[in-house]
Amino acid sequence: MKKIVSIVVALALVAALLVGCAATDVILNQSPSSLDKIAEKFPNLVTDNTLNDGYFYLSVDGETTLNVSSDFSLSAEDVAIQTPLKPFVDAGLDPAALGTGYRTDGTSLFLVADFGAGSGKQGTVTAALFESAKADRSALTYHADLDHYGIALPAGKFEWAKDEVANDKDIVFVIAAQPLADLGVDVQNIEGWVFMTMKDDAGQDFDVLLKPYSLES
């Protein structure tokens, strides 16, 4: 009897610890509402095309777009960044040399991610995007220097401001520069993208291409 009671107590403690860990995941708890606020304040950002092709599209300029599947079980590309291909080709990219995490269709470069089957159809772009964090918590990031949340893809990232009112970079598309540089691309001279060297959590330098947008301007 004592052994059974001990097991029950141990299981209860594990459950309490798991609940406590979830409760203290501030980034996971707060980041969806910040993206919801941006989408609600700027409704033209998001196109709901889910009845036609199953995707939400989030774009500021109509050129560079975040594509998010409303149902991960029905899509091979659950989350993708889509942007014009020509500036990259002009900078030396051979599309045929691209590997995993990318694809092209002749006019667009796609940075793609598959996060598994998901948990069913989602009704908003935020709920759909956060299926990625459910599948892989490490996909959800917080960029302290810019006060941004983000969802990481194998070859890039989509970031949004924690507080768009106080931030001058409300939406940012990010592409990892080094993989493209390794293919001979002149990553410091890609039209429409800003080359920047940043530091990771370990203090190591890494190069990125940024396309930031201020929604208030």
The tens digit of pLDDT for each residue in 172-182 reads 999 999 999 99
160 or 6, which is more confident:
160
For the chain, the straight-line distance linking the first and the last C-alpha, in angstroms and rounded, comes to: 69
Question: Does residue 89 surpass a pLDDT of 60?
Answer: yes
CA atoms within 13 A on the CB side of 133: 20
Give the number of other CB atoms < 10 A from CB of residue 36.
14
Q: Is 37 exposed, middle or buried (0-12, 13-18, 19+ CB in 10 A)?
A: middle
Question: Does residue 202 surpass a pLDDT of 70?
Answer: no
Question: Does residue 48 surpass a pLDDT of 90?
Answer: yes
14 or 90, which is more confident:
90
The tens digit of pLDDT for each residue in 111-145 reads 999 999 988 999 999 999 999 999 999 999 998 88
Instruction: Look up tokens 């990010």; give the residue.
Output: 174
